[in-house]
Amino acid sequence: MSDTPSPAKPLRIGMLGGTFDPVHNGHLRSAMEVREVLGLDTLHMVPAPQPPLRDMPQVSAAQRLALLTAGIGDTPGLLADDRELHRKGPSYSVDTLAELRQQYGEKVPLVMVIGFDAFLRLAQWDRAEQLFELAHLVVIARPGYQSPWPCSLKELVGDRAVDSVATMMQHARGSLLMLELPSLMTISATYIRQRLSDGKSVRYLVPEAVEQAIFHQGLYQSSE
Ligand SMILES: Nc1ncnc2c1ncn2[C@@H]1O[C@H](COP(=O)(O)OP(=O)(O)OP(=O)(O)O)[C@@H](O)[C@H]1O
Ligand SMILES: O=C(O)c1ccc[n+]([C@@H]2O[C@H](COP(=O)([O-])O)[C@@H](O)[C@H]2O)c1
């Protein structure tokens, strides 16, 4: 046995923002797999109280955060992060990334993870050009979403695309990686909300703890 301590492995941090209205197994399985594939120490899952490009959710941010916390349970490396609940106004991701960058320092690879549907609208995000100054972007495929990229998106991305995790992780920010995770899932929160309002089961679409919390609190169920 050598007496020389091996150098500490450098940190890698991820952020997966979402409305999580409610969190479902598509989010959670993708989060686990993306963490594994990218070798992330922690993936911050951040509910947006006021998602900028959609209507205000009916279920409060505190309730959506509670469902996310229940869904994550004790899964290693996934963290239900309440930081956007402490800000007022639209939940801009650039502000969240800036906070994470400040928390972890300039040298740590920081990765924002989004699904392909959200990526298609990236050029409309607030201060979109600053996103790559703060983090890398990893886009995960979602079954059913295969549109061509709008011109504004091509312009925003420029020549940032890389084709491997190793290449991306040589730097702390600034690259784009398109990923197809092993378990592609068609589940969406829209589908979960629709089933609940129709009085149908969501078993195996969301974690058991989330299903129980939804029923105990009477969320998403039609009032009729
Ligand atoms: N099944 C899935 N597989 C991979 N990524 C997903 C999946 N569902 C959602 N995502 C991604 O997770 C992030 C947060 O998603 P969001 O909270 O908007 O859920 P959603 O299921 O897309 O919701 P809704 O149906 O209400 O639009 C987005 O980047 C989205 O693309
Ligand atoms: O910063 C922006 O302008 C911005 C615009 C649209 C979406 N987002 C973030 O993208 C995540 C997914 O949003 P949504 O609407 O697809 O659930 C969530 O964290 C939002 O805050 C961020």
Tell me: domain 13-143+150-217, CATH 3.30.420.40, correct? no
Distance CA 136, CA 176 (A): 6
Under 8 Å between Cβ of 172 and 211:
no
Residue 3: pLDDT band (50, 70, 90) is low
pLDDT tens track for 46-87: 999 999 999 999 999 999 999 999 999 999 999 999 999 999
Backbone angles phi, psi at 179, to 5 degrees: -125, 140
Model's pTM, two decimal places? 0.96
The number of CA neighbours under 13 Å toward the Cβ of 156 is: 22
pLDDT (0 to 100) of residue 84: 98
Report how far ligand 1's centroid is from the alpha carbon of 2 (Å). Answer: 47
As a residue count, the chain comes to 224
Ligand 1 lining (C-beta closer than 6 Å): 18-21, 26-27, 30, 114-115, 117-118, 140, 142, 185, 187-190
Domain residue spans of the chain: 13-143+150-217
Determine contact, residues 21/51, Cβ cutoff 8 Å: no
For 140, list phi and psi in degrees, rounded to 5: -100, 140
The partner residues of 178 in beta bridges, in order of sequence, read 139
Q: Pick the residue with more confidence: 143 or 189?
A: 189
User: Ligand 2: residues within 6 Å at CB?
Assistant: 17-19, 48, 51-54, 91-94, 118, 125-126
What whole-number distance in Å separates Cα of residue 168 and Cα of residue 175? 6
Contact status, residue 176 vs residue 164, Cβ threshold 8 Å: no
pLDDT band at residue 6 using 50, 70 and 90 as cut-offs: low
Instruction: Report the pLDDT value the prediction gives residue 10, as an integer from 0 to 100.
Output: 83
Residue 224 binned pLDDT confidence (cut-offs 50, 70, 90): very low
Instruction: Tell me which residue has its CA closest to atom 1 in ligand 2.
Output: 92
Buried b (16+ CB within 10 A) or exposed e, 138-168: bbbbbeeeeeeeeeebeebbeeeebeebeeb
Q: Is the peptide bond before 22 cis (omega within 30 degrees of 0)?
A: yes
- The 3-state DSSP class for residue 83 equals helix
Residue with tokens 């995790």: 165
Q: What whole-number percentage of the chain has pLDDT above 70?
A: 96
Q: pLDDT per residue over 189-206, tens digit each? A: 999 999 999 999 999 999
Q: Whole-angstrom Cα distance, residue 51 to residue 48?
A: 5
Global ipTM: 0.99
Note the pLDDT of residue 1: 46
Phi, psi of 42 (to 5 degrees): -135, 135
How far apart CA 142 and CA 116 sit, in angstroms, is 6
